[in-house]
Amino acid sequence: MSPRVTGIHHITAIAGDAQRNLNFYVGTLGLRLVKLTVNFDDPFTYHLYYGDATGAPGTLLTFFPWRGVPPGRPGDGQVTRVAFAVPPSSLPFWEDRLRSFDVAFERLEPRFGEEILSFSDPDGMGLELVAAKDLGAPPPNSADAIPSRAAIRSFHSATLAEDGMERTASLLTDTMGFRAAGEERNRFRFTVGQGGASRIVDVLCAPDSPQARMGAGSVHHIAWRTPDDAQQAQWRAELAGLRYNVSPIMDRTYFHSIYFREPGGVLFEIATDPPGMDADEPAGELGSSLKLPPWLEIQREEIERRLPRLVLPIAR
């Protein structure tokens, strides 16, 4: 069986101050902190995972918060917008909520028939709330301040900015199983599987944009879902056969990962659905304590001493 991706697994970005990041994504947007851990390659830096009540793939936005890191510059070779799916009638609620937290926002022209609210996080990362169709029944919501009729459900999509789209489009459609789903001006939409929320990627052809510079407010990489280890191994073999430079399979505790750069320069990851966010703590306790992989437990005392103290905000 040919390997397949089934949508977005997670998106990882860079932040400045960890507490400010936590206040915004939990306190303002009402996401759940589903994992408090560290950057496995830089263990004196947090890795914060936000998502739905269970930390399901397709809902996970994660951050490396490096205090004092210079601002990034959005541009070609980067994910420049992260879009969340919200119920169709919820945008007035979100306008009121963002206004109450002094977050500037803008209503955009409808895109592919869906209404959009655009704003940025405290580090300047571009975010959107998309009034998405066919969301189904609302999942459990961990933020009492956000009613289920308005709560963020999952990712809607991500926008890749590229100086040209043909080679990226070929990778998406010929190799990764996406299909072209429409275009509006210089934006080209691709969907995978049944389409819909968390199964959409837009490629924005922007040859006059500057090259992206990584920093605070930048997306570091986007990860795509694959069901299991066997299909991930197939992915690695196939991509290597197409002459992509693919990383070895890496154990990230909550999923297994491979990494490569797509033709436009965006760092792609293919991550397995299992083991999942409850691999090292019960679902009801997600995000409640610092979790370290086994090989870092010997350094726990030093890691805890050097990490800044965080206080979980209460969504209001």
| CATH number of the domain located at residue range(s) 8-306 in this protein | 3.10.180.10
78 has which bridge partners? 161
Other C-beta atoms closer than 10 Å to the C-beta of 90 total 22
Using left for φ > 0, alpha for ψ between -120 and 50, and beta otherwise, residue 76 falls in beta
Other C-beta atoms closer than 10 Å to the C-beta of 114 total 17
Tokens representing 53 are 């009540």
Phi/psi at 121 (nearest 5 deg)? -80, 175
pLDDT at position 144 is 65
**In sequence order, what are the residues at sequence separation of 6 or more whose Cβ sits closer than 8 angstroms to the Cβ of residue 128?**
81, 82, 83, 84, 108, 116, 117, 118, 119, 156
CB 166 within 8 A of CB 207: no
- The one-letter code for the residue type at 212 is A
pLDDT at position 236 is 97
Work out whether the CA dihedral 229, 233, 239, 243 comes out positive or negative.
positive
pLDDT at position 142 is 52
The tens-digit pLDDT sequence of the chain (316 residues) is 578 899 999 999 999 999 999 999 999 999 999 999 999 999 999 999 999 999 999 999 999 999 899 999 999 999 999 999 999 999 999 999 999 999 999 999 999 999 999 999 999 999 999 999 877 666 655 556 789 899 999 999 999 999 999 999 999 999 999 999 999 999 999 999 999 999 999 999 988 889 999 999 999 999 999 999 999 999 999 999 999 999 999 999 999 999 999 999 999 999 999 999 999 999 999 999 999 999 999 999 999 999 999 998 876 6
Note the pTM of the prediction, 2 decimals.
0.96
